[in-house]
A and B are shown apart, each in its own frame.
Chain A
Amino acid sequence: MYALKYDEDTCLKCRTQDCLAKCQYIDIDKESAKKEILKIAHGEDSSVLHDCVTCYACEEYCSFNNHPFYLIVEKQEELDIPPLPRPIIKRGIKTGIPFRGEPTIEKINGRALLMGAFADLMHLIQGKLFEGLPVISTDPRKMFHYFCQLMYLHYARNSVIKERLPKIIKTIAEHEVTEVVCFHDECYGTYTSYCPAIGMEVPFTPVHFFEYLYNRLLELKKEIKPVKLKVAYQRPCSSRLSPDKHRFVQAIFDLIGAQTVEREYVDENALCCGGTMEGQRREGSRKRTADLRRKNIEDMKNAGAEVCVFNCPACYNTLGQMLVQSGIRPVFMSDLCRVAIGEKPEGWR
């Protein structure tokens, strides 16, 4: 019913093969990259299907919006080449099952903030920045009714996404929302990138969380006092699905007086937190991920970062402790913005 909009001719005409040639985790030249992506498109086995760490970045690298990542994971599923061990896939798929009753549907008739599967992080959306903004998916027991399901790209289970997502969209739509501010990049990427790519209709307008924060900070500009912190940003995998919104990271930092440190692994060259990579079947995944994390944090440290800013709770959970040990404070973007307008987020000293 839902089919990926992928055009083989686009790949044939492509001269850069950036999708694979730029990959930070697979060492491949342009010529081989073209061969491999076409093999994948034809449903043939390819080393890429075995070595892909599912970092999403090729979706950003492809300048033709031809969805190489979605193609890779679709073929991983078709050819039964799962990136993760079977028990982790089973576990992950069961995680998204709602099991504590039906959600309470309140009619919004306007804009709302969607917490998705992070209803237990309500403390991150407090204060003036969120005044007057209704929130949906506030009950941790029922949050999987709002879970965008895109996580299953890491599991090469597009079929699960396609099966469950219409029901999720229907539940959100029942709130009669016009604009949906997505707390997490993953939800935003689902509704603005994945759904159009497979021809699934989205009956509301998604708004990126950082775009919302930026605009709200503009409204509160008079109250901003520069935070004067040297910051690094940990880019989540799903932000690769909306690279046009990545500019809001710097825009917010500029607005709140945070100084972005000069790093090697930044923007397009950002490193993955490794949350899903460390459990992958590919030989040496755990050790490679441990090295990757060390490299990432060393880079922040060498650049002089005092704070590492997150949007993704999974990245925060994965890197938080290691950052603290390295003397870098992990903080969510919304909390940093709150500090800039003179508020004191939970646990802030």
Chain B
Amino acid sequence: MDSVYEALVEIVGPEHVSSQPEELFIYSWDLGTTEPHRPDYAVAPRTAEEIRKIVQLANKEKIPVVPLGGGLSLAGLAVPFKGGILLDLKRMDDIIEVNERARYALVECGVSQGKLTAYLERHHPHLTHSEPGAPPAATIAGNVVIHGQGDLAHPYGFNSDMINGLEVVTPTGEICQFGSCAIGAGWFTLHPLPDVGLFLGWTGTTGIITKVSLRLFPCKKIRGMAQFVVDDEDLVPEVFYKITHTQMVEDIMATSQAIPPFSSELHHFTINIAADSEKELEFKLEIVFDDTLGEYIHKGDGGYLGFIRGLERPQLSKTSDWRKGGGFEYVGSIMPIEQYPECYRRGKEISERHDIPYTVLARCIGTAHAMMFSWTYAFNRADPKTIEHAREALHETDDLALELGGTIWKPGLYGQRLVMEKLNPNTLELMRKIKQLLDPNGIMNPGNWEAQ
């Protein structure tokens, strides 16, 4: 019997370890175009203590550890490129605490977006979190670790800006806490202790987040979506700017896609508005659509398409599957909003070159401080040729994101290499030193952010 397997069984019990090919097969893929790589073991721990022991074992045996949240990652972020232990964190799914008055939730790393949403709706209807457009099975921790954004990104920024505290198992097997929780207080703030900031955006290469304290926000009684449409991409940045100036809305996205035909070459804004009363709702609609966007409507350059009560979730992933075969992957970038027209035009060209119906989306982050702009490429999972087309388009788009002055959001290996080539050499060296210090044996999610 394999000694690593036996040691893993000792830590988590036999029912939570597998080295069976049929089970490892599932963990070798993600939903995008990345080539599969099979892990040697799949393990589903229940506690941080078990993770600590697994990491110590991996150090001793010098084998990789790849943490996995909801398994919905694209771009190969949790594909075990060098085999090793695939750490499936879905069993760690307790919502430990919701503090109504201080507005935060303390959750284990396997808690999904859908679980927290449902829990808050049932038990704390006055609170909500910034939910990304991912399917409900995506995890809270997985999202913050990649600097995700959600439907409160306009007023409150990245989801990783909403962290009040973290618990992390380091690559050498220490359990650390960060924020007010680290001094035994509640999980109500990350500041003002010395900034460690080593675990976000590193794609699990510097440690495994086991608990997150996430800020919650007021949930108004009426939440819904208004739509506004323009046909000139050059108008999009100023519309974003004007809407954000009102400070009346929760989420602002602009989308354009080849299919269905009505959306082609048009730019639809989805604008989430929340209110506690009809009076408040009408006031906000008036400020946004009559006073602010009225000039476009009257001139005939922009159209108000109405307000629908209720938020439709998920949104982003639903629009991506326009091609037979059910595959899609996207390049996300964090970009100045003024680049929307160029992002749209150049992205459309790439799509057309690869015979893929174009799909682009921009979500406002902060008060127009930046946008997350994504280019989505659909492919047929059963057709290697279309997968290859999508992969080439994705790589071209990684190049484009940097060329247009943006940064790539949650880049895959190709994008990471591009970013590291452009990175300030001193910064890159510091990253290398940090990685070496934290993970001397290089066991954590190897392949990712490997600064040479």
Binding site for B on A (CB under 8 A): 82, 84-88, 90-92, 94-95, 97, 99, 275, 278-279, 281, 283-287, 290, 318, 321
* Contact, CB under 8 Å: B300 / A97: no
Q: For residue B260, which residues in chain A have a CB less than 8 angstroms away from its CB?
A: 99
Distance in angstroms between the alpha carbons of A90 and B263 in the assembled complex: 9
Task: Decide if A286 touches B290 in the complex (CB within 8 Å).
Answer: yes
- Choose from A85, A94, A283, A284 the contact partner of B264 (Cβ within 8 Å): A94
Residues A86 and B261 in contact, CB atoms below 8 Å apart: no
Number of A-B contacts (CB under 8 A): 74
Q: Can you list 7 A-B contacts (CB < 8 A)?
A: A82-B300, A85-B296, A87-B229, A94-B263, A94-B264, A95-B261, A285-B297
Question: Which one of B259, B290, B297 lies within 8 Å of A85 (CB-CB)?
Answer: B297
Q: Provide the bound-state CA to CA distance between A305 and B48, in Å.
A: 60
Contacts of B303 in A (CB 8 A): 84-88, 91, 279
Residues of B within 8 A of A91 (CB): 229, 262-263, 266, 303
A87 to B236, CA, bound (A): 13
Complex CA–CA separation, A91 to B304 (angstroms): 12
CB distance from B3 to the nearest CB of A (A): 56
Proximity bits, B411-443, A CB within 8 Å = 1, else 0: 000000000000000000000000000000000
Interface with A: B128-136, B151-159, B281-289, which one? B281-289
Q: Whole-angstrom distance between the alpha carbons of A284 and B301 in the complex?
A: 16
Q: Report the minimum CB–CB distance from B321 to chain A (whole Å).
A: 14
In the bound complex, do residue A281 and residue B231 qualify as a contact, i.e. CB atoms below 8 Å apart? Answer: no
* Per-residue A-contact encoding for B288-325, CB less than 8 Å = 1, 0 else: 01100010111111111110110000000000000000
Choice from B282, B301, B306 contacting A87 with Cβ under 8 Å? B301
Central interface residue in B262, B263, B296, B309, by most chain A CB within 10 Å = B262
Q: Is the CB of B290 within 8 A of A321?
A: no
B230 interface hit (Cβ, 8 Å): yes
Main secondary structure of the interface of A (DSSP, over half): helix
CA distance A82 to B297 in the complex (A): 12
| A286 touches which of B261, B266, B304, B308 (Cβ 8 Å) | B304
B306 nearest CB neighbor, chain A only: A278
Given contacts A94-B264, A321-B309, contact A86 B259 (CB under 8 A): no
- Residues of chain B in range 21-42 having any CB-CB distance to chain A below 8 Å: none
| Residues of chain A with a CB closer than 8 A to B301's CB | 85-87
Q: A284 to chain B: which residues have CB within 8 Å?
A: 290
Whole-angstrom CA separation of A321 from B301 in the bound complex: 29
In contact, B309 and A87 (Cβ under 8 angstroms)? no
Count chain A CB atoms within 10 A of each CB in B264, B289, B296, B300 and give the residue with the most: B300
Chain B positions within 8 Å of A275 at CB level: 306
Partner of B259, one of A87, A99, A287: A99
The answer to whether A88 touches B305 (Cβ under 8 A) is yes
B266 A87 Cβ-Cβ under 8 A:
yes
| A88 close to B285 (CB less than 8 A) | no
In the assembled complex, which residues on chain A have CB atoms less than 8 Å from the CB atom of B296? Answer: 85
Q: Provide the bound-state CA to CA distance between A85 and B304, in Å.
A: 9
- Give complex CA distance A278, B306 in Å: 7
Q: In the complex, how many angstroms separate the beta carbon of B419 from the nearest chain A beta carbon?
A: 36
- For residue B259, which residues in chain A have a CB less than 8 angstroms away from its CB? 99
Which residues of the other chain, A, contact B229 by a CB distance below 8 angstroms? 87-88, 91
Interface size on B, residues (CB 8 A): 30
- Which of A87, A97, A283 touches B230 (beta carbons < 8 Å)? A87
Q: How far is the CA of A239 from the CA of B357 in the complex (A)?
A: 39
Question: Which residues of B have CB within 8 Å of A286?
Answer: 285, 289-290, 297, 304
| Closest 5 A/B residue pairs (Cβ) | A88-B303, A85-B303, A87-B231, A95-B262, A94-B261
Check if A86 sits within 8 Å of B300, measured CB to CB: yes
* Contact partner, A90, options B266, B285, B286, B297, Cβ 8 Å: B266
Contacts of A94 in B (CB 8 A): 261-264, 266
Interface string of B206-247 (1 = CB under 8 A from A): 000000000000000000000001110000000000000000
Q: Contacts A91-B262, A95-B262, A287-B286 hold; do A278 and B298 have CB atoms under 8 A apart?
A: no
A84-B300, A279-B304 known; 17 other A-B pairs, CB under 8 Å? A85-B296, A85-B300, A88-B229, A90-B265, A90-B266, A91-B263, A94-B262, A95-B262, A99-B260, A99-B261, A281-B298, A281-B300, A283-B294, A284-B290, A285-B297, A285-B304, A286-B285
Contact of B302 among A85, A97, A321 (CB under 8 A): A85
CB distance from A246 to the nearest CB of B (A): 27
- Which of A85, A275, A283 lies at the interface centre, i.e. has the most chain B CB atoms within 10 A of its CB? A85
- Contact A279 B231, beta carbon cutoff 8 Å: no
> A97 — nearest CB in chain B belongs to which residue?
B261
Nearest B-chain residue to A317, judged by Cβ: B308
- Residue numbers in A under 8 Å from B298 (CB-CB): 281, 283
Q: CA–CA, A275 to B305, complex, Å?
A: 9
Contacts of A283 in B (CB 8 A): 294, 298
Contact A87–B302 (Cβ < 8 Å) = yes
A92 to B300, CA, bound (A): 14
Q: How far is the CB of B267 from chain A (nearest CB, A)?
A: 8
B289 surroundings in chain A (CB, below 8 A)? 286
Q: Using CB atoms, name the residue of chain A closest to B308.
A: A321
Q: For the complex, what is the distance from the CA of A283 to the CA of B298, rounded to whole Å?
A: 6
Q: Measured between C-beta atoms, what is the minimum distance from B257 to chain A in Å? A: 12
Complex partner residue of A281 from B266, B286, B297, CB under 8 angstroms: B297
Which residues of chain B are within 8 angstroms of A90 by Cβ–Cβ distance?
231, 265-266
Q: Which residues of A contact B304 (CB under 8 A)?
A: 278-279, 285-286
Q: Is the CB of A86 within 8 A of B231?
A: yes
Docked CA distance A275–B300 (Å): 18
Which A residues are CB-close (under 8 A) to B282? 290
**Bound CA span A283–B230, Å:** 18
Q: Which residue of chain B is the closest to A90 with respect to CB atoms?
A: B231
The interface residues of chain A lying within 8 Å CB-to-CB of B264 are 94
Is B290 within 8 A of A287, CB to CB?
yes
Set of chain A residues within 8 Å of B300, measured between Cβ atoms:
82, 84-86, 281
Give Cα distance in the complex from A138 to B230, angstroms: 32
Bound CA–CA A285/B260 (angstroms): 28
CB distance from B298 to the nearest CB of A (A): 6
Q: How far is the CA of A321 from the CA of B224 in the complex (A)?
A: 12
